[in-house]
Amino acid sequence: MKFYFLLLLAISLSHILSVTVLALRKNSVFSRSFAFLGGMASFSVSSYIVTLFYFGEKAGLVTAGVFFASLDWLLLLFLNYVFIFTRNQNVQRKNISQLKNIYFVAGTLDTVSLLLNAIFKHAFLINPSIDNAGDFICWIYSFKLPYNLHLIFCYIIVLHIVLYLVYRTFTNKGFYRRKYFSLLMPFVFLIILNVVFILFKWNFDYSLIFYAVLGAAVFYLTFYSIPLYVEREMRINIASCTEEECIVCYDLEGKVFYVNPHANEILEKRADIRDKVGDCQEQFILSYGRASQSSTWQYKFENDGNVEIYSFDFKVLYDSKGRLAGSFLKFEDKTQEILQLKQQQYNATHDLLTGLYNSQTFSEKVHDELIENPEEEYLLIATDIENFKLINDLFGPKRGDEILKCQASMFSEKKYGKCIYGRISADKFALLIRESKFNPDELIADAKSVQNGIKEIDYQVKIYLGVYRISDNHENVQNMIDKAFLAIRKIYGSYEKTLAYYDSSLIDDLMLRQRVLNDFQNAINRSEFCIYLQGQFDRNQKLIGCESLTRWNHPERGMLSPSEFMEPLEKSGFIYRLDDYIWESSVKILSEWKQKGISAYISINISPRDFYHIDVLGRFRELLQKYDFDPEKLNIEITETQVVSKDEESFVIINGLKELGFCIELDDFGCGYSSFKTLEDFDFDVLKIDMEFLHTCKDTAKAQNIIRSIIKMAKTLGIKTVTEGVEQKSQFDFLCEAGCDVFQGYFFSKPISVEEFTEKFLEEK
């Protein structure tokens, strides 16, 4: 009999131990308290098993004392577990009641008393019960009063547990009623069994075998019993979550019935998150059945000095019949994701090189600012770096970037107040400032100071400023930006002007330019372009040649001079088609002259853009083959911009043209980049000085000196000089005296049609 009982006890013990281990591995909010309970039950059963072996009376008193005391703690842990199990909790909250403290003190005193019984024998005595064969069966206990105190203490806790479970069973409905009742039943059965053991003074306490049954019931009820009606729904939700996501499922009362391991791990160690989850859950419950099907919260937490952002997503769970069944929480550490999102947002709204707003964001910010402050006066300012492409080509994109960064730091808020600044495209920036903060001189000075930030390059970086005064805050911002840039076009390329204001005539100009491009194709086909010739004279005022200058005989607008159509054609690149036409026409005239025995030469112009679009050298070679004319009678005027980048190709083309026998002139010397270095690098035949240079210089004597030295220097290099723009006799006299060889200008003749030119200068001969 005793053997079988011991066997059953051993099975019970191993069973309790295994559910304890399983519970620990469950990693749920209940795991820890369940493990304590299981651990204590195993201890009780083990110590009881020890009392069934004879090691002498002293040892018997000790082991029996330990066993009785362990029952106190087993019951207390069970009570605690029942609290946790049935509590209307979503997370563990510290709520240690006064009662718990009293129980703890009483349990400790009782334990001490039961252990001291081994010495004082005040609580119980033991006598061995021996069977017929003389073997030890068990101890027969005779109890004294202090032991009754122990019993009373135990029964108070039992009563507490029973009453509490009965109360929870009756105050709940449906699933939870069944769940609490399922816990109550095995417990009551076990207690009855224990009472019977005591009352009938059985040899063995059979109730201990039922610890395993109770343990299994508690284990199942804790970890597996989920209301069926939410289980399906919950599983679908959980299945769609990753391991990284934290999941908690609540029933209708807000009780947790599922926590995944990751959530459990975080909730256990992070009280701040635990509390927030609790708050959110309470709030969400309040909205049950009303408006919200789901709610999302996002909170910042501090963890070891780092900011963490967590999102809490709650949603309602329904059962298969569409009834409200509970709620589902998914919470996640979104810190990385949000930081990434912020970075992406930043990248999408900012220019990465300069850190300024990009065009789109600039427009949006400007729009908002203007709408929010309708009573303020604003200016939209555009900036553009001159020849930025050339800078990139000459000094490399790295230097180009450097310049852009300098430009980006040009406007400091300190000076201009709250302003909005953005990069619109490559080298174009825009700024919105209040009119009250606008000081054109300061702005120009700042634009000039960008140069100072760039070291080691021998190049004058020029920034143009276009200002548009905003009159209608509701105007499309892109229009405003366009208008500010339009103002720049008015002064682009000018040396003395840096800042220009937009005015409505600029729009008319723009339309005119557009019209030029639209009409151009037809104009070429209908031969609307014609040549005007302007004579060139020697010191004796004798005609020796002429410059071929284009005119457009426009059917509606009349005779147009190059200033009215050249720029849009150059910008769009169409100029090569016009030039090609003019070159061929000029060559035709030369070959006619050759037949008539006229020895005058013709100078033609080449636009720097032609070099990009056509094979200039090949084209002139073709002309030489096609027409009968002397190449030395064709002068080719090249501007300095064409050769300033000094690339290999320019050398090849210019030398090629020279080899074909053409005469190469450097046009507009004295304007633009003019440098003596260019004269050294290229082998020009003629240097053409622009008198315009004399007009723009205030100190006439100084300008005259410069012209003198240019002519002198050209002479030493063996280069012939032509001065154009000669309007007065005095200028002619001065130039003669300075040693100039050839003269061109209104003083002699304006550009005139070929017929007129022939009649005036050639037929007389």
Nearest to Ca ion of 308, 637 (CB atom): 637
Instruction: Tell me how far, at minimum, the Cβ of 574 lies from Ca ion, in Å.
Output: 19
User: Could you tell me the two tokens for 140?
Assistant: 């027969």
User: Could you tell me the two tokens for 227?
Assistant: 């209301």
Torsion of CA 232, 236, 238, 242, to 10 degrees: 160
- Among ligand C2E, Ca ion, none, the one that 582 touches (CB under a kind-dependent 5 to 8 A) is ligand C2E
Site stretch for Ca ion (CB under 5 A), options 220-228, 333-341, 618-626, 635-643:
635-643
Contact 466, 488 (CB under 8 A): yes
Nearest to Ca ion of 39, 562 (CB atom): 562
Instruction: Tell me how far, at minimum, the Cβ of 445 lies from Ca ion, in Å.
Output: 33
3-state secondary structure 424-463: EECCEEEEEEEHHHCCHHHHHHHHHHHHHHCCCCCCCCCE
Rg, Å, the chain Cα set: 51
Contacts of 654 (CB under 8 A, 6+ apart): 638, 643, 664, 682
Nearest to ligand C2E of 222, 534 (CB atom): 534
Instruction: Tell me how far, at minimum, the Cβ of 558 lies from ligand C2E, in Å.
Output: 15
User: Could you tell me the two tokens for 315?
Assistant: 């949603």
Instruction: Tell me how far, at minimum, the Cβ of 551 lies from ligand C2E, in Å.
Output: 8
Q: Which residues pair with 425 in a beta bridge?
A: 428
Q: What count of other Cβ atoms lies within 10 Å of the Cβ of residue 180?
A: 23
Nearest to ligand C2E of 467, 691 (CB atom): 691
Reduce the DSSP state of residue 320 to 3 states and report it: coil
- Among ligand C2E, Ca ion, none, the one that 205 touches (CB under a kind-dependent 5 to 8 A) is none
Cα–Cα distance between 341 and 351 in angstroms, integer? 16
- Among ligand C2E, Ca ion, none, the one that 70 touches (CB under a kind-dependent 5 to 8 A) is none
Nearest to ligand C2E of 205, 724 (CB atom): 724
Cα–Cα distance between 747 and 482 in angstroms, integer? 42
Nearest to ligand C2E of 499, 516 (CB atom): 516
- Among ligand C2E, Ca ion, none, the one that 104 touches (CB under a kind-dependent 5 to 8 A) is none
Q: What count of other Cβ atoms lies within 10 Å of the Cβ of residue 148?
A: 11
Nearest to Ca ion of 204, 576 (CB atom): 576
Cα–Cα distance between 654 and 646 in angstroms, integer? 11
Contact 708, 670 (CB under 8 A): no
Contact 255, 326 (CB under 8 A): no
- Among ligand C2E, Ca ion, none, the one that 745 touches (CB under a kind-dependent 5 to 8 A) is ligand C2E
- Among Ca ion, ligand C2E, none, the one that 202 touches (CB under a kind-dependent 5 to 8 A) is none
Cα–Cα distance between 99 and 83 in angstroms, integer? 13
- Among ligand C2E, Ca ion, none, the one that 727 touches (CB under a kind-dependent 5 to 8 A) is ligand C2E
Based on the shown chain and the rule CB under 5 A, indicate whether residue 640 belongs to the binding site for Ca ion. no
Nearest to ligand C2E of 278, 608 (CB atom): 608
- Among Ca ion, ligand C2E, none, the one that 384 touches (CB under a kind-dependent 5 to 8 A) is none
By CB under 5 A, what part of segment 653-692 binds Ca ion? 667-668
Instruction: Tell me how far, at minimum, the Cβ of 582 lies from Ca ion, in Å.
Output: 12
Instruction: Tell me how far, at minimum, the Cβ of 644 lies from ligand C2E, in Å.
Output: 16
Nearest to ligand C2E of 104, 746 (CB atom): 746
Nearest to ligand C2E of 328, 629 (CB atom): 629
Instruction: Tell me how far, at minimum, the Cβ of 615 lies from ligand C2E, in Å.
Output: 17
Nearest to ligand C2E of 90, 639 (CB atom): 639
- Among Ca ion, ligand C2E, none, the one that 466 touches (CB under a kind-dependent 5 to 8 A) is none
Based on the shown chain and the rule CB under 5 A, indicate whether residue 605 belongs to the binding site for Ca ion. yes
Between helices 209-223 and 2-26, what is the axis angle to 10°?
20
Cα–Cα distance between 546 and 151 in angstroms, integer? 133
- Among ligand C2E, Ca ion, none, the one that 749 touches (CB under a kind-dependent 5 to 8 A) is none
DSSP 485-541: HHHHHHHTT-SS--EEE--THHHHHHHHHHHHHHHHHHHHHTT-EEEEEEEEE-TT-
Instruction: Tell me how far, at minimum, the Cβ of 345 lies from ligand C2E, in Å.
Output: 49
The residue length of the chain stands at 765
Residues in the site for ligand C2E, rule: CB under 6 A? Answer: 534, 549-550, 561-563, 566, 575, 579, 582, 605, 607, 667-668, 724-727, 744-746, 751
Instruction: Tell me how far, at minimum, the Cβ of 644 lies from Ca ion, in Å.
Output: 16
Cα–Cα distance between 618 and 608 in angstroms, integer? 16
Contact 126, 144 (CB under 8 A): no
Instruction: Tell me how far, at minimum, the Cβ of 549 lies from ligand C2E, in Å.
Output: 4
User: Given the rule CB under 5 A, which residues bind Ca ion?
Assistant: 605, 637, 667-668
